Structure 1
């Protein structure tokens, strides 16, 4: 993320959260699709993650809409709510990565599917990228 957004930085961070949570949510569908025979516990886990990530994405959208309605003065600086959401989104992505690691290590359907392993590794890197972007804001 570039720092040229000035007073719009809070909106930019929320936009990043909204985008990456949407991506992670879609990634749960990709995993279920590319791994036929994915064990039922992992299918259920991916479905639950899809819902959880969607809730976080929806919260980011609500914050963006709220800031848009209140005007640029409210967007100057970071609100406690935006910082808390950013922190939560990072922790959520860290947990999602841990689930992906567990999936790769323990799912027969993933271990036996070279394409699925590559795709899950790519998904993992994308979540790591989001964490890096968000952590720059938190520092």
Structure 2
């Protein structure tokens, strides 16, 4: 987390979401590259995840710009939209983790690639880290 925001909400949580959505998108590429013999259904699903995560990343970036332009006077409606977006990001990360675990357990290409299993575990850990950080920021009062 970039702590130069101090306790500024909602920039803190948007910064986290922006970084981790980019990471998750990049992780879809890592998984495809790491398993060149990955079944086509998973390749297609990873490409779809990459698009979805990139779209979310772009939404987060737009909200960051809106918050920055508000000069620390974030309207209640914008603040609520940020919270809704971050909640969406959390749910998206939960679904991405489930998909990664599915690849690890159901893909023959992953089953036969110890490095891929280790990397997938790391990818899952990173997404879980984002979820934990975002929940902490969202629910602190």
TM-score normalized with structure 2 length: 0.91
Shift of 1:137: 2.5
Question: For residue 101 of structure 2, what is the aligned residue in structure 1?
Answer: 101
Alignment gaps of 5+ in structure 1:
none
Shift of 1:73: 1.5
Cα RMSD after superposing both structures? 1.9
> SS at 1:73's partner residue?
coil
What do the CA deviations read for 1:85-138 (whole angstroms, capped 9, x no partner)? 111000000000000111011101111001000000000000000000111123
Structure 1 segments, 4+ long, off by >6 Å, are: none
The answer for the alignment partner of 1:57 in structure 2 is 57
Contact 1:38–1:109 (CA under 8 A) maintained in structure 2 = yes
Inter-partner Cα distance in structure 1 for 2:117 and 2:37: 14
- Structure 1 equivalent of residue 87 of structure 2: 87
- Residue 6 of structure 2 corresponds to 5
Scaled by the length of structure 1, what TM-score is found? Answer: 0.92
Indicate conservation of the 8 Å contact 1:67/1:75, yes or no: no
| CA distances 1:19-48 after superposition (whole Å, capped 9, x unpaired) | 000000000000000001000000000000
1:13 positional shift? 0.7
Give the CA deviation at 1:75.
7.7
